[in-house]
Structure 1
Amino acid sequence: MLKVHHLNQSRSQRVLWALEELNVPYDIIRYEREKTMLAPASLKKVHPLGKSPVLEDDGLIIAESGAILEYLEEYYDPTHQLQPQDKAQKLQYRFWLHYAEGSLMPLLLMKLVFGRLGKPPVPFGLRTLGNALGQGVQKAYLNQQIETHARFIEAELAHKPWFAGDNLSMADVQMSFPVFALLSRGSIDNLPNLQAWKKRVEMRPAWKQGIEKGGPFTLPGE
């Protein structure tokens, strides 16, 4: 049986959702974040990077969300339930599958990091300087970049319910983490298409089942 090394409040929620959509049985090995919000050192026993998610399948160890989702699509989705076959939609599917972590998520992570430069664990004496630096970088660069991406995604969802077209795909699964983070931390108003997409995700039985098994998924703001 497949094993998912699952860290709370992390990208591994995507893997649980995908497995529930595919109705593939799996076991969960749970890990809790440290007070620093980093993954525990015990994850390094599974993969040298010590990150989650990690998927185990008959001795194979697969890391990285996108690689895991492509692996599940290749070996556990024989009817291509979560991959479009139309050429144009397949191109969109591939774009969003890579865009999520290649373009959008780095900006959101930077915003989180710079937003916390004035807070613990930054030493008390450096917090004023850290806060000024963090706010300056966000104002001068990050906020504009994130809004550009948010408006791009909002426009893309204006005429289709899912990222690759009319049906849910692994592209939506991959985009779930950065979109939830964007809506939580991006401080951008008037994104009705993104909000509607989020509601469609949250209404899916497989999403709810993944939450029940994996634990709360709230991605609080800074």
Structure 2
Amino acid sequence: MIRLHHIPFSRSFRVLWLLEELGLKAELAHYSITDGSLRASEFKAISPVGRVPALEIDGITIYESAAIVEYLTETRPEHGLGRLAGDPERVQFLEWLGYAETQASILASLNMQHLFMGDPTPASPLVLKLEAARLTASLKALENKLSDQEWLLPSGFSAADTMMGFNLFSAPYYVHLERFPNILAYIERIKARPAYQEARKLDGNQEFYKKDFYEVPNG
């Protein structure tokens, strides 16, 4: 039995996509960020901090994205989506897992302030400006990396790309990507992957973003 605890268009999509790349089908347990289901004691017994993803597989439960990615690629090495100890790309692989999560934390901050903090605690325009600038800086570094290679690792597609792919479908709500042609081409390569397409069908509808773009407010 494989069960993925999941919210559409969230970090858990990374795992859903990777499972599809590995040819593994999971039962999806759906949650919402707004209905209190993440705070239920039953879910916190699975994920102590009340966040998705959480993956039940091989008789264990894992609840951090990078840990799930490492576990899946190391226990299913025949698919070649990880980089095991001794591989010359091992350090790069681990760095990209961390980079993707750092970038996702910026997106989470922007999501919290733009989407979920209303009166009497309005978002700070200064903080929003700084966070948007941090996100832009992280995208610039990614743009440079993709100038001479198609995927995050020189040898080709890996599970690091499934970690990063989620970010690049949230970032355009806060940063215009027209200035990043390499990233736009990378996104098109991602969309062309059959496993990505299947995962997107299974993902469900996002319920966070009500606008196409969120400007930094004056203040």
Match of 1:122 among 118, 125, 133: 118
1:24 aligned partner: 24
Match of 1:165 among 130, 150, 154: 154
**Which structure 2 residues correspond to residues 56-75 of structure 1 after superposition, within 5 A?**
56-75=56-75
2:107 aligned partner: 108
TM-score (norm 1): 0.81
Deviation string 1:148-197 (CA, Å, 9 cap, x unpaired) is: 21111100111110011242101101111222222232245411111111
The answer on whether the counterparts of 2:70 and 2:82 sit within 8 Å (CA) in structure 1 is no
Structure 2: how far apart are the matches of 1:135 and 1:219?
20
The answer on whether the counterparts of 1:8 and 1:215 sit within 8 Å (CA) in structure 2 is yes
1:216 Cα deviation after fit: 3.5
The answer on whether the counterparts of 1:32 and 1:40 sit within 8 Å (CA) in structure 2 is no
For residues 111 and 188 of structure 1, do their structure 2 counterparts lie closer, same or farther at Cα, with a shift above 3 Å needed?
farther
Structure 2: how far apart are the matches of 1:150 and 1:211?
23
Structure 2: how far apart are the matches of 1:218 and 1:177?
15
The answer on whether the counterparts of 1:7 and 1:33 sit within 8 Å (CA) in structure 2 is yes
Deviation string 1:67-113 (CA, Å, 9 cap, x unpaired) is: 111110111x2325212478543322111111111x32222222233
Structure 1: how far apart are the matches of 2:8 and 2:46?
16
1:52 Cα deviation after fit: 0.9
TM-score (norm 2): 0.82
1:40 Cα deviation after fit: 5.6
2:10 aligned partner: 10
Q: Which amino acid counterpart does residue 90 of structure 2 have in structure 1?
A: K
For residues 136 and 33 of structure 1, do their structure 2 counterparts lie closer, same or farther at Cα, with a shift above 3 Å needed?
closer
Match of 1:185 among 143, 168, 174: 174
**Which structure 2 residues correspond to residues 33-72 of structure 1 after superposition, within 5 A?**
33-34=33-34, 39=38, 41=40, 43-72=43-72
Tell me, what secondary structure is at the counterpart of 1:55? strand
1:210 aligned partner: 199
CA RMSD of aligned residues (A): 2.6
Structure 1: how far apart are the matches of 2:189 and 2:208?
18
1:217 Cα deviation after fit: 5.5
1:81 aligned partner: 80
Structure 2: how far apart are the matches of 1:218 and 1:159?
36
Structure 1: how far apart are the matches of 2:7 and 2:110?
21
2:125 aligned partner: 135
